Amino acid sequence: MTTYSDYFDLLLAKIEPNPARLTDAQAIVPDVREHLKQHEAITTCLPHTRLAGSYPRHTAIDDLKDVDTLVFVHVDYLKDKPSLVLKALERALKDMPEEISGGSQVELRKQRRSIHVCFAEKDFHLDVVPVVITKTIDDSLKVPDREWEEWVDTHPLGYQTWLSELNDQESGKVVPLVKLTKYWRDCQFAYKRPKSY
């Protein structure tokens, strides 16, 4: 006899990220991270880069729209206007070798706190966010806000840790619940919808 739980399991299997998208993420993202670590247009510090957002939290669904990548920049950038670090990051990303994109045209777009990278032919996207460690990587970080021209606090890695701990405490039920909530949101809010859960 089929139970409600069986139906939820079927739905979860249906909304898992597209395997082709996961393959693109696994092929492109490490090369972009290595490129930024070595590029002279922007000064990074250990651990140089880290993934954030739904991809490393395993809460992505369907087409895996983009992968968020944190770039840990030197603390001296805090003395500058946020727009300057975003310009430096944009210069480094413009200089990506063609082998990273696999021949796909790369389009960059400045956003409020990041640079959006689109690999056009693959329809694959990255949001690359510069952050500064002010104490330790486990504490809140500083992110540049181009609109406000100031550095603001953010804690994406702390949130990621909290979500993992909560998921473990609840026998692995939180991550599937987040995925189902995102799917419900996408079905119910076709035109104007909350950006995240």
From first to last of the 197 residues of the chain, give the pLDDT tens digit.
788 888 888 999 999 988 888 888 888 899 999 999 999 999 999 999 999 988 888 888 887 778 999 999 999 999 999 999 999 999 999 998 888 877 778 899 999 999 999 998 888 899 999 999 999 998 999 999 999 999 999 998 988 999 999 999 999 999 999 999 989 888 888 777 666 65
CA-angle at 126, arms to 103 and 66, nearest 5°:
110
Q: Where are the domains of the chain?
A: 17-154
Q: What residues are paired with 73 via a beta bridge?
A: 44
Q: What residues are paired with 116 via a beta bridge?
A: 109, 127
Percent of the chain that is helix, strand, coil (3-state, to 5): 45, 25, 30
Specify the pLDDT at position 112: 94
Q: Across the chain, where does the E strand assignment appear?
A: 44-52, 66-73, 106-110, 115-119, 124-133, 141-145, 150-154
Q: How many CA atoms lie within 13 A of 129 on its CB side?
A: 27
Q: Which CATH superfamily is domain 17-154 in?
A: Beta Polymerase, domain 2 (3.30.460.10)
Can you tell me whether residue 71 is helix, strand or coil?
strand
